[in-house]
Structure 1
Amino acid sequence: MPLIDLSGERFQVEVSGLEGAPPLVLAHSLGCTLNMWDEVAPLFARTRRVIRYDARGHGASAAPDQVYAMGDLGRDVLAILDRLGLAQADFCGLSLGGMVGQWLALNAPQRLTRLVLSNTTAHAGPPRFWDQRIKAVRRDGVEPIASSVIDSWFTPDFRATAPARVASVRAMVTGTSPAGYMGTSAAMRDMDFRHDLKAVRTQTLVIVSDGDRSTPPAWGEAIAAAIPGAKLARLSGGHLSAIEQPEAFVRTVDGFLS
């Protein structure tokens, strides 16, 4: 997986699938890496040019110790598209990735063909929650919060039947740079698109999951209600729907993009 330089900062980007096929960008959750998409990327790559990347603050990408804004994360996506010579792409973001997708739809709609917002929200809750999370990570690192994060992401059934995959996701969380986790948490704390979404004109699909405790279905339903013409799809399972329900996730997204 190559590292590319974008204005002096490194980013890990993986491109797979058919040369010349419609491009699809996959953007992962807080505390994950591009490997969050391991189940679905090969399925999408049968008909699309799949671009997945480690977001700022995650994996092998740059993780400066500073407060990030959602615009920083969105402009990283634009820089990746520029480097790949892509004027437009479909974009599918889950959780944090869906927040980045909302920023793109509001600030760079000309770069999007269609938009999928999965298991996400337009407002990530009271700032004090994120301030406490940032304080805890600054004091003790990411390891102490990993178990509670994983518990909120996966349903009990999936944790029982797929312990190896759950462990691999936990390793992504604990492997996240504390500086990157804190910087991204600040971006999520400061984000609020609730009053802006009515201006989105990109064709949008919103995916919610019945067992999602991190971003409950009502949060996604509110996004779908706010974006003119948005479609809503509901899956079973927990927060990381692309992992718990990969086939259903791909069918749902492909049905929309096609």
Structure 2
Amino acid sequence: MHDREAGLRFAAPNGKVLHHIVRPGDGRPVVFVNSLGTDLRIWQAVVAGLDPTRPLLLWDKRGHGLSDEGATNMSGLAADLAGLMDLYGYSRTLVCGVSVGGMIAQRLAHDRPDLVGGLLLSNTGHRIGDAATWNARIETVERDGIAAISEPILERWLSPDYRAAHPEQLAGWRNMLTRTPAAGYAATCRAIRDADLTDAAKAIAVPTLCLAGERDGATPPALVRELAELIPGAEYRCLDGVGHLPCIEAPEAVVEMLQDLLDRLG
């Protein structure tokens, strides 16, 4: 994505500067929401597969990429996204979120249903992990930095086949992860730890596809299927041999699912 095609911008709808890319165009916008420890670059291959006239919004949540840090919770993260969407006059968008991005999307659909026309919830759940696990991760990151836990995270993110076949890309994604500010990473861990979106998921009333990766070590297929069963009318799909980030490993499949949802939404 070049600046002449999509503008790299900064805005502070809720007092914290948020880095984002917005691309004008025709039709229903697609909004992308990143996972923990990543920035908007994880969607590049997906964006490249979409119609270049499709309007898009990509953003870095607090404490990630080029956005400001700041304490938050799941409602606050959804409010940040809503503020950006309001800035550009978006409504009834297709929101595509992976991992915590999928949790933010669920919260957004609950808090601002006017902004959401459809959902692709990738490798996520209504709850992810438990308090003890998140507290241990937060303690390690704040004491030793993200590099101390980067290898097991990458093993959950990406399948063994991908890691073996793409060592340069793996090194790049490791750099993205380890260069995330520890305070921003820990703040998002707390938001995930404290979020229970069971009721929000049950209330979703837009076309929704829940996507799992068969080799996902962070949000395994059973968790994603459980989410799909909570959401009225949701579809569940699982990609064979894929880890936690299909947007990196299987972008063509993600594009196909987005296009199918866009067609259904009209």
- Is this a same-fold pair by TM over 0.5? yes
Asked whether 1:8 is paired with 2:51, we answer: no
Distance 2:14 2:114 in 1: 22
4+ long deviations beyond 4 Å: none
Counterpart of 1:188 in structure 2 is 192
Classify the secondary structure of the residue corresponding to 2:261: helix
* Deviation for aligned residue 1:44: 2.1
**Distance 1:9-1:123 versus aligned 2 partners, 3 A rule:** same
* Deviation for aligned residue 1:160: 0.9
Contact 1:109–1:202 (CA<8 Å) still a contact in 2?
no
Classify the secondary structure of the residue corresponding to 2:208: strand
Distance 1:227 1:5 in 2: 32
Which residue identity does 1:20 align to in structure 2?
D
* Deviation for aligned residue 1:6: 2.3
Contact 2:92–2:118 (CA<8 Å) still a contact in 1?
no
Distance 1:205 1:233 in 2: 7
Asked whether 1:41 is paired with 2:47, we answer: yes
Distance 2:127 2:153 in 1: 18
Residues 137-194 of structure 1: CA deviation (Å, up to 9, x unaligned): 1111211111111011111110011122222211111111111101000000001122
Distance 1:136 1:117 in 2: 29
* Deviation for aligned residue 1:195: 4.2
Contact 2:9–2:19 (CA<8 Å) still a contact in 1?
yes
Counterpart of 2:253 in structure 1 is 248
Distance 1:101 1:11 in 2: 17
Contact 1:233–1:252 (CA<8 Å) still a contact in 2?
no
* Deviation for aligned residue 1:251: 0.8
Distance 2:79 2:120 in 1: 18
Distance 1:220 1:7 in 2: 31
Asked whether 1:167 is paired with 2:171, we answer: yes
Q: For structure 1, which segment, 42-51 or 181-190, has the greater mean C-alpha deviation from structure 2 after superposition?
A: 42-51
Contact 1:32–1:172 (CA<8 Å) still a contact in 2?
yes
Counterpart of 2:67 in structure 1 is 61
Distance 2:204 2:143 in 1: 39
**Distance 1:246-1:9 versus aligned 2 partners, 3 A rule:** same
**Distance 1:8-1:198 versus aligned 2 partners, 3 A rule:** closer
Asked whether 1:126 is paired with 2:130, we answer: yes
Taking the TM superposition and a 5 Å limit, the aligned residue runs for 1:23-38 are 23-38=29-44
Distance 1:195 1:3 in 2: 33
Residues 21-59 of structure 1: CA deviation (Å, up to 9, x unaligned): 321000011000000111111212435212111111101
Equivalent residue in structure 2 for 1:22, among 23, 28, 35? 28
Equivalent residue in structure 1 for 2:90, among 86, 102, 106? 86
Gaps of 5+ in 1: none
Asked whether 1:114 is paired with 2:118, we answer: yes
Contact 1:55–1:61 (CA<8 Å) still a contact in 2?
yes
Instruction: State the identity as a percent.
Output: 36
Residues 63-92 of structure 1: CA deviation (Å, up to 9, x unaligned): 12x3x2100110011000011122331100
**Over the residues paired in the alignment, what is the CA RMSD in angstroms?**
1.4
* Deviation for aligned residue 1:106: 1.7
Distance 1:71 1:245 in 2: 30
